[in-house]
Amino acid sequence: MSQQPVIIVGGGMVGLSLALMLARQGIAIRLLEAVKYPENASGEPATYHSSFDARNTALSRRTVQIFSELGLWEKLSQHATPILQVNISEQGGFGKARLQAHEEKVESFGQVIENAWLGRVLLSEVRANANIELVDGIQVTSLQQDAGKVWVTAQRGSDQLQFQSSLLIAADGRDSFCRKALGIGVDEHDYQQVAIVTTVQTSKPHGQVAFERFSKNGPLALLPLPGITGQQDSYRRSVVWTVEKGSEQQWLGEHNDQQFLQALQHTYGNRAGEFTKTGKRFAYPLSQVLAHSQVSGRVVLMGNAAHTLHPVAGQGFNLCMRDAHVLTRYLSEQYQAGQDMGDNARLKHYEQARLSDQKRVIRFCDSVVRGFSNQNPLLKLARNTGLVAFDVIPGAKQLVATYAMGLKV
């Protein structure tokens, strides 16, 4: 049977990555993205885009492996820095836990990369791939399907267009239009928290060390970033600081730079030296959104359309990449056999194959956020005792490191 291009709705980092995975298998892709992508001349800094924003992403070892399989890691690594050590602590507590790459006999736990650079490399590869038709600046307005096909109607300027395929993959984000059009419900939990995201400079080099520090407001992640050209050491760090919803405005705006740095110093302490400079801050409300189903007929939900997680431990994007990698394997088998890639029974097999890994990660992220948010003195004592025990119990570090690296799937 002749194959029409697989439709992917949503051209963020997950949608672009999945398109490249499928195209590598010879599958034709039509990628629809609502926002017009930026144009960048060679050598210019990456332009922020709604999909490639001010945030940074900690890529797990498994995600790095996937990008290596795609032949992209050589390009991505130029804008990434490895995590050689992870320190975990709680503000006002005595317990501390530490993971070191050399103890786990790996070169790193993962790599930190700025979303703008990751998006730029992915977009460049998609534009150059003959198997991918990229249609940006187009808004999907309806989605329908029957026993043999799925089609969407979309608006681009004054033009109304219609596309059809045997399979549609909805990677159109947390508030997915496609998910709503299919009538798939969600379980949503609002954490009543906002993530303040920025880049800071410190008086001490980061030494490829990542920190996760828990405070009464929520977790504070401090991740190493690549240095400025010509510097031997890097003093740049990514900050993801969780604060109570409604309090974020006091930390935004250039006039609040010094106030923000002082508050950050108070929460984090002096292990990074002095926080000397901050970039522009961005605020992102935090919630958990889980779709009731990830497959409906000939449609698969992918990325944040399927599951949006709290950013604690940096698991969300890495989980999505494992989803995309497994889906690619299933679809490639169908394609190579000349069979229907939109076959619902086969898509349901994919969904079932991913549930164990997804549930484990979702449960872990949610329990960490809820557990460390409770300021009961007895629970705080138990948490810090646990952090001390984690540092000395044989095998505990290896188990946690394996899960964090995305290798136990």
Q: Which residues pair with 210 in a beta bridge?
A: 86
Q: What is the DSSP letter of 263?
A: H
Residue 61 is encoded by which pair of tokens? 């070892």
Q: Which of 45, 194, 42, 245 is nearest to 124 (CA)?
A: 42
E-assigned strand segments in 96-158: 96-100, 110-114, 132-136, 139-145, 150-156
Q: Is the dihedral of CA 342, 344, 345, 351 positive or negative?
A: positive
Calpha distance 376→355 (Å, rounded): 33
Calpha distance 240→284 (Å, rounded): 10
Burial-class residue 39 by CB neighbours within 10 Å (0-12, 13-18, 19+). exposed
Calpha distance 328→211 (Å, rounded): 34
Quote the pLDDT of residue 388: 42
- 253-272: pLDDT as tens digits: 877 899 999 989 988 888 88
Q: 184: which residues sit within 8 A by CB, 6+ positions away?
A: 291, 292, 293, 296, 301
Estimate to the nearest angstrom the gap between the alpha carbon of 370 and the chain centroid. Answer: 20
Calpha distance 14→63 (Å, rounded): 11
Q: Which residues pair with 289 in a beta bridge?
A: 188, 308
Which residues of the chain, if any, have pLDDT below 70? 1-3, 40-54, 90-96, 104, 217, 228-233, 313, 368, 370-409
C-alpha distances out from residue 299 to 107, 148, 353, 407, Å: 39, 12, 17, 28
Calpha distance 354→333 (Å, rounded): 17
Quote the pLDDT of residue 234: 85
> Is 353 in contact with 301 (CB distance < 8 Å)?
no
Domains of the chain in sequence order: 6-79+113-188+288-384 (3.50.50.60)
Quote the pLDDT of residue 291: 98
pTM score of the predicted model? 0.87
Quote the pLDDT of residue 54: 64
- 177-218: pLDDT as tens digits: 999 999 999 999 998 989 899 989 999 999 999 888 777 767
> Is 73 in contact with 174 (CB distance < 8 Å)?
no
Calpha distance 212→109 (Å, rounded): 14
Q: Which of 342, 328, 332 is nearest to 149 (CA)?
A: 342
- 52-84: pLDDT as tens digits: 556 788 898 899 999 999 999 999 998 899 999
Q: Are strands 132-136 and 29-33 parallel, antiparallel or unpaired?
A: parallel
Calpha distance 331→167 (Å, rounded): 10
Q: Which of 26, 50, 13, 111 is nearest to 341 (CA)?
A: 26
Buried b (16+ CB within 10 A) or exposed e, 108-118: bbbbbbbbbbb
Calpha distance 9→310 (Å, rounded): 23
SS3 content of the chain, % helix, strand, coil (to 5): 35, 30, 35
What's the mean per-residue pLDDT of the chain? Answer: 84
